[in-house]
Amino acid sequence: MSLAAVGRPMQEFDFLVIGSGSGLDVANAMAGRENSVAVVEEGRLGGTCLNRGCIPSKRLLYHADVMETIEGADAFEIDAEVTDVDFAEIVRKVTEDVSGSSESIRRGLTSSNVHDLFSGTGQFVDDRTVEIVDGDDEGATLRADTVLVATGTRPSIPPIDGIEDVDYLTSTEALRLESPPDRLVIVGGGYIAAELGHFFGTFGTDVTIVGRREHLLPEADEEVGEAFTDRYADRFDVYTGYEAGAADEADGEVTVEARPYPEADSVRAGGETVGAPDEAEDVTVTGDALLVAAGRRPNTDALDLDATGVETDAAGFVETDEYLRTDAEGVWALGDVVGEYLLKHSANHEAKAVIRNLLGDEPEPVDYSAMPFAVFASPEVAGVGAREQDLRAADVEYATNTYAYDETARGSAMRADGFVKVLIDLDGNIEGCHIVGPEASNLIEEVVVAMTAGSGTVADIREAVHIHPALSEVVDRAFSGQFSRGGGHDHHHHG
């Protein structure tokens, strides 16, 4: 125990949560059952999603979608032009909205007579004792019967030579830039790179993306990732299969040196050549600003988990059982810090499970079986369940069907480019569904419902009446069409 805590009484609670994102859902449920609740937060209330994640990024991205719609109007015989964009005002308004929401959470907690809010970093002294080590409440020591670790993640900075001398951006700062850079280099090829590339690119930035895998969105189904990368290579300077090795900044210009990544299957340089990594050249890219969007790391390093029985994996994510209990008695964890799915809807789903398991009689495991994801880029991407590469790797027999948007009445009217891809087992059970194209994040939902609440078979979707001519017909057709076999033994015979 630190000197600061000497002479300060230990404060006792029924429940304590570290982190104020989805962990607050559990805190509120516990408070609603007459439990005394402590909330420890070192930054703004509301967690990553509200302050520097989904909410500000999707609000900003919608502006890009509006802009893109206007710019594409001539395809519909409409002559429109944009005379002005108040970019700074767009960003200010979004930032204000987000701060307002965060402040209202703070007001709610501080005026509550069942919650106690502690401002600062929580550090474990033992399994269920936490000391506040900095911030307004530094020195307070809290003990609780049940503790929840919900500390989330932060941007991860890969080992790039010279990066510490470059004034780079992460997603946190990029969402607050009041003017778009003229030329932006993005290191990373995942959804944050895709979304922010779309945002800045639409408002006039020349974007260069350097990603390690052979295509952007490596978490998506291969075919979708490939189609997405092709579209981005038309819009931007895309280098996939490249790893950033060194960076430096001089006279306001950032230079990144990238080398072919040996573990990639193929390399794309500036959207042009495609070859094997060992045949490819190193490349040098330049810009006015550098955005590092190379994944996220768990906020567990400040917690001093060595003082507890809580185990973490090699990357620092908290290990839990299927009920979200850690290895320490009475300590639970949820959200990004457990590293299952770094998605707000997953954290909310986990919060429901922890509430059920804390307050119910019989613990129930978290069900991740139909956990969807979406990327709000252009084109939009969404998916649920197994990807084709997963089924191939598991050597199971499956069948697949793909249907293009423009083969439906609405898709053709929209001049929509994209497809819905369905994967089923040979009994007709839905294994996965992957979409690239307009409204993908909405279209995926009927498949999630079929997998969760329905029988989880092709019939759930085939037999439901789909509105004609709505965009959802593309999902209906993908499920009603002619499937072709893939994987398992069949796959080996026919390639």
In this prediction, residues 106-133 reach a mean pLDDT of: 96
Average pLDDT over residues 453-472: 96
Share of the chain above pLDDT 70, in %: 96
Q: Are residues 63 and 179 in the same domain?
A: no
The answer to whether residues 320 and 438 belong to one domain is no
Q: What is the mean pLDDT of residues 279-286?
A: 94
**pLDDT confidence bin for 489, thresholds 50/70/90:** very low
Report how far residue 415's alpha carbon sits from residue 479's, in angstroms, rounded to the nearest whole number: 22
Poorest-confidence range of 109-113, 148-152, 272-276? 272-276
Q: Please check the confidence at residue 252 and state whether its pLDDT lies above 50.
A: yes
pLDDT given at position 494 = 28
> Which domain-ending residue is among 278, 294, 310?
294
User: In 396-456, where does DSSP find H-type helix?
Assistant: 409-413, 440-443, 445-452
Question: Do residue 237 and residue 344 come from a single domain?
Answer: no
Distance of alpha carbon 199 from alpha carbon 90, whole angstroms: 12
One-letter identity of residue 443: L
146 and 23 fall within a common domain: yes
State pLDDT tens for residues 153-198.
Answer: 999 999 999 999 999 999 999 999 999 999 999 999 999 999 999 9
Specify whether 395 is located in the same domain as 426. Answer: yes
> Are 388 and 466 in the same domain?
yes
Catalytically active residues, by annotation:
468
Mean pLDDT of the region 192-218 = 97
Q: How confident is the model at residue 495 (pLDDT cuts 50, 70, 90)?
A: very low
Residue 203 in any domain: the answer is yes
- Evaluate whether residue 365 is within a structural domain: no
Residue 370 resides in a domain:
no
345 and 390 assigned to the same domain: no
Average pLDDT over residues 290-295: 97
State the helix-helix crossing angle for 23-32 and 344-359, rounded to 10 degrees. 30
Do residue 253 and residue 350 come from a single domain?
no
- The enclosing domain of 464 has a CATH number of 3.30.390.30
Q: Within a domain: residue 374?
A: no
Q: Is the pLDDT of residue 491 over 60?
A: no
At residue 3, does pLDDT exceed 90? no
Q: How confident is the model at residue 325 (pLDDT cuts 50, 70, 90)?
A: very high
What range defines the domain where residue 330 resides? Answer: 3-154+297-359
User: Is residue 332 domain-shared with residue 315, that is, in the same domain?
Assistant: yes
For residue 7, name the pLDDT band (cuts at 50, 70, 90).
low
Q: Which CATH number covers residue 196?
A: 3.50.50.60
Digit-coded pLDDT (tens) for 24-66: 999 999 999 999 999 999 999 999 999 999 999 999 999 999 9
In this prediction, residue 272 has a pLDDT band, given cuts at 50, 70 and 90, of: confident
Total structural domains in the chain? Answer: 3
Environment class of 172 (CB within 10 Å of its CB; exposed 0-12, middle 13-18, buried 19+): middle
pLDDT at 381 over 80: yes
Residues 242, 315 within the same domain: no
Are residues 193 and 126 part of one domain? no
In single-letter form, the type of residue at position 352 comes to K
Confidence of residue 275 (pLDDT cuts 50, 70, 90): confident
Residue at a domain's end among 294, 314, 349: 294
40 in any annotated domain: yes
Same domain for 305 and 208: no
Among 294, 315, 336, give the residue marking a domain's end: 294
pLDDT-derived band at 486, boundaries 50, 70, 90: confident
Whether 141 is covered by a domain: the verdict is yes
